[in-house]
Amino acid sequence: MSGHSKWATTKRQKAIVDAKRGAAFTKIANQIAIAARSGGDPTMNPTLAMVLEKARKANMPKANIERAIARATDKSAAAMIEETYEAYGPAGIGIIIEVATDNKNRTMPEVRNALSKNGGRMADPGSVMFQFARKGVIEIAEKGEDALMTALDCGAEDANEGEEGIEVITEATDLMKVRQALIDAGLSVDNAELRYIANTSVPVSEDDAEKVDKLLNAIDDLDDVTNVFTNAE
Residue 125: partners with Cβ closer than 8 Å, 6 or more residues away: 86
Tens-place pLDDT, residues 179-203: 999 999 999 998 888 999 999 999 9
Distance (Å, whole) CA 132 – CA 231: 8
Beta bridge mates, 225: 99
- What pLDDT is recorded for position 21? 62
Helix axes 62-73, 2-35, angle to 10 degrees: 40
Q: Spelled out in words, what is the top-level CATH class assigned to the domain 2-73? A: mainly alpha
Average pLDDT for 196-221? 91
Write down the domain spans for the chain: 2-73, 80-233
Read off the pLDDT of residues 20-48 as tens digits, 9 standing for 90 and up: 666 788 888 888 888 888 888 888 888 88
Q: For the domain bounded by 80-233, which CATH number is listed?
A: 3.30.70.980
pLDDT digits (tens, 9 = 90+) for 45-74: 888 888 888 888 888 889 988 888 888 777
pLDDT at 25: 84
Q: What are 129-181's pLDDT values in tens digits?
A: 999 999 999 999 999 999 999 999 999 999 999 888 999 999 999 999 999 99
55: buried, middle or exposed (CB in 10 Å: 19+, 13-18, 0-12)? Answer: buried
Q: Evaluate if residue 215 carries a pLDDT over 90.
A: yes
| 170 closest CA partner among 188, 183, 156, 180 | 156
Residue 149 to residues 57, 96, 164: CA-CA distances in angstroms?
26, 32, 17
Indicate the angle between helix axes 175-184 and 46-57, nearest 10 degrees.
Answer: 60
Using H for helix, E for strand and C for coil, what is the string for 38-90? HCCCCCCCHHHHHHHHHHHHCCCCHHHHHHHHHHHHCCCCCCCEEEEEEEECH
pTM over 0.95: no
